[in-house]
């Protein structure tokens, strides 16, 4: 869908607003939280009253960010002039907090970088070429508002950029990305701390889940996959909310062009996490399955299904994606 990017219109909405609420996608990652906190800090600095929320709150590994406690885990009171939705391609992904915030705001700004963005909301800051929502927030706050970023805001925005680019390694990274990172470091952001706390940090519970899933990995026609049944959490004494994150590792395997993990989150829901080598596209497959994302990283949640049925449904689609693509870097 084509959307006009309305930097000044979004800025005007904020100028005229006193109360702003920020929401993002469920199971928030570094970009969801980082872009939220960058916006929160900077808009507060501009004198706005700002609330922020995401279902379940900030995951423990991201609580090093100043202001993490200001992101509420639920939202059931309040009314705002403007709601900013960041890093979410559609309304459903913003969960209960998103639904409440949009219903109690006079206008909605949709700030996002997913190519699959549905174009919800009144004003769009949707830039599919941006590496992260944090990068869009940076451009908007500094270019349009002329805001000076605090160290806290810079740390949050750089976290979004580092996590979504896997440490500036994805194909979306441009010289401009590194310029922004440089600017954020000059404003006080600590790249080493961010990397240590995010990319180079996994819980022992995650490793326990990987052990179980990797025991049954499969590779066929360039598609590599692993699955994790719901009972595995109980069997291993691991919380069902534990980060899984195995697809990123599987796509490193030389014979794999596309990777997917099937994580059964409840008896009926299966969360798919897909990755593709350069030259292949899993975003289109995710979209066809009711999810979304980017060419190289995408996801979807399948409902009312079983692990076997999900594998039977998804693997053929990914094999077609392998056939449609061609490996760019060997």
Interacting partner of 93 out of ligand AMP, Mn ion, none (Cβ under 5 to 8 A depending on kind): ligand AMP
Q: Is 300 in the site for ligand AMP (CB under 6 A)?
A: yes
Binding of residue 295 to ligand AMP (CB under 6 A):
no
Separation between Cα atoms, residue 149 and residue 180, nearest integer Å: 12
What does 121 bind: ligand AMP, Mn ion, none (CB cut-off 5 to 8 Å by kind)?
Answer: none
What whole-number distance in Å separates Cα of residue 261 and Cα of residue 246? Answer: 7
- Residue 291 touches ligand AMP, criterion: CB under 6 A: yes
Burial class (CB in 10 A: 0-12, 13-18, 19+), 254: exposed
298 binds, among Mn ion, ligand AMP, none (CB under 5 to 8 A by kind): ligand AMP
Instruction: Enter the DSSP assignment of 308.
Output: H
Stretch that binds ligand AMP, among 101-109, 140-148, 197-205, 289-297 (CB under 6 A): 289-297
Q: Is 298 in the site for ligand AMP (CB under 6 A)?
A: yes
Measured at the alpha carbon of residue 134, what is the angle toward residues 131 and 135, in degrees to the nearest 5? Answer: 55
**The only residue of 209, 299, 302, 322 in contact with ligand AMP, by rule CB under 6 A:** 299
* Minimum distance of ligand AMP from residue 199's CB (angstroms): 13
Residue with smaller CB distance to Mn ion, 31 or 212: 31
Strand (E) positions, 62-204?
71-72, 80-86, 105-112, 123-126
| Among the residue ranges 132-140, 198-206, 223-231, 292-300, the one whose residues contact ligand AMP (CB under 6 A) | 292-300
Q: Report residue 66: phi and psi, to 5°.
A: -60, 140
CA distance 46 to 147: 8
For ligand AMP, the binding residues (CB under 6 A) are 89, 93, 247, 273, 291-294, 297-301
């Amino acid at each position: 869908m084509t959307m006009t990017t309305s930097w000044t219109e979004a800025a005007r909405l904020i100028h005229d607003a006193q109360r702003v609420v920020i929401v993002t996608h469920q199971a928030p990652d570094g970009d969801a939280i980082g872009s939220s906190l960058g916006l929160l800090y900077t808009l507060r600095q501009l004198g706005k009253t700002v609330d922020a929320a995401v279902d379940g709150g900030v995951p423990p590994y991201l609580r090093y960010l100043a202001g993490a406690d200001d992101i509420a885990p639920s939202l059931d009171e309040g009314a705002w002039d403007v709601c900013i939705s960041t890093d979410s391609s559609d309304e459903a992904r913003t969960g209960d907090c998103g639904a409440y915030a949009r219903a109690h705001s006079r206008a909605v700004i949709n700030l996002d970088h997913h190519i699959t963005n549905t174009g919800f909301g009144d004003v769009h800051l949707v830039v599919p070429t941006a590496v992260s929502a944090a990068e869009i927030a940076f451009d908007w706050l500094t270019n349009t508002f002329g805001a000076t970023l605090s160290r806290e805001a810079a740390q949050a925005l750089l976290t979004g950029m580092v996590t979504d680019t896997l440490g500036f390694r994805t194909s979306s990274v441009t010289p401009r990305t590194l310029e922004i990172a440089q600017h954020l470091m000059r404003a006080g952001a600590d790249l080493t701390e961010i990397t240590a706390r995010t990319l180079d940090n996994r819980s022992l519970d995650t490793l326990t889940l990987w052990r179980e899933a990797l025991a049954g990995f499969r590779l066929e026609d360039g598609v590599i996959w692993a699955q994790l049944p719901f009972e595995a959490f109980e069997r291993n004494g691991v919380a069902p909310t534990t980060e899984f994150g195995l697809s990123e590792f599987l796509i490193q395997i030389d014979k794999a062009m596309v990777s997917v993990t099937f994580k059964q989150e409840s008896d009926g829901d299966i969360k798919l996490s897909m990755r593709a080598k350069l030259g292949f596209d899993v975003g289109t497959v995710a979209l066809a399955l009711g999810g979304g994302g980017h060419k190289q990283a995408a996801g979807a949640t399948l409902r009312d299904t079983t692990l076997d049925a999900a594998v039977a449904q998804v693997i053929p689609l990914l094999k077609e994606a392998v056939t449609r693509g061609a490996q760019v870097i060997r």
